[in-house]
Amino acid sequence: MDEAVAAGILSKRWKYLWTNVPNMVYCHPLRNNTSFRGFAEFINETLAFHSCLKIKNFVVNFNYAAHCYEYFDLWVRFAVRNKAEELGLILLMDPGEDSPRWVKGSCNYILPSKLYSNSGLRKLELSLCGFAKNSAISWDSLKSLSLRYVRLDEYVMGKILTGSPKLEYLELNNFTGIKRLNITSASVKKLVLRDYYYYDDEYPDQNDTSSSYDDDEEDEENDWKTQLKISCPHVRALEILGSFGRTWCRLTDHPASLVEANLDFTLNTIDRLYSKFMAYVKCQIMVQGLLERLQNAEKRSLGTWVFKFRLYNH
């Protein structure tokens, strides 16, 4: 958007061109001398003069600043009022901060009520944003949803899926909280899961001497810090990527329509309560379980870590 404004300064012919552009993308570099508040005021000024009645794409990408929530509300209301088809509210963390600080912090921006009912929204990308539990969701036209640095539970995720009957693409990136992911909608064709965090993976209780593992437990899954159970019977493409800490990841069904599967994730296999051998055995069991569920996929791609444990079983 700043390029469009600059063009208006350079030429009288283009002076007011920027006030009618349908694509509005604002990016504030993390390492920039311009303060966030100054950047926010620039956005507000351009919105005040903007005259396009319908917006195709509205994206704001900037460093996280909790004291500026009033700006976020203003921008979301503008996007809703101007019927934006694609909306991106991408909050970023300072590169000097340890990631993921959001896991235990309360830094998530709670989306305003006006966004939850939007029949024209087709694509939504959010980072460091939270959902109000008491709000009904109605995104009748939404086809693509990407959530990054998000804390979810089964109730909120269920409302999102129920309220998005045309959703085709779902991505959860750096997510936590949810332990059962039920994607039962036949419309969802691609599911991407990247970097799942369980609280203890990043913030272990140093005073906790109790064992969460039991070598005599018959159910191997119960030996792990937590489980992520995934049901996605209708997806055609599934990707499980990044770090999953010490989470037992399990598919609860055979996706009958699956065409492509990509398993490129890692687990933390070392724990003070385990021998290295026992940790490896349990990783083998989990990987084998995933591969058995995905055996009907026409194309399977395995990352280095997953492939290593696959070899142990053949």
Q: What is the pLDDT of residues 94-136, one digit of tens each?
A: 545 555 554 444 457 899 999 999 999 999 999 989 999 888 9
Residues 314 and 185 in one domain: yes
Domain contains 195: yes
| pLDDT value, residue 21 | 80
Domain contains 154: no
Question: Mean pLDDT: which of 16-30, 42-56, 80-94, 115-129 is highest?
Answer: 115-129
Cβ(109)–Cβ(132) below 8 Å: no
Residues 118 and 23 in one domain: yes
Domain contains 238: yes
Domain contains 275: yes
| pLDDT value, residue 75 | 92
Dmax over CA atoms of the chain, in Å, equals 78
Residues 127 and 191 in one domain: no
**Residue 217 pLDDT level (bands cut at 50, 70, 90):** very low
Give the pTM. 0.83
Q: How far is CA 84 from the centre of its chain?
A: 21
Q: What percent of the chain has pLDDT over 90?
A: 47
Average pLDDT, the chain: 80
- Greater model confidence, 43 or 87: 87
One-letter identity of residue 60: V
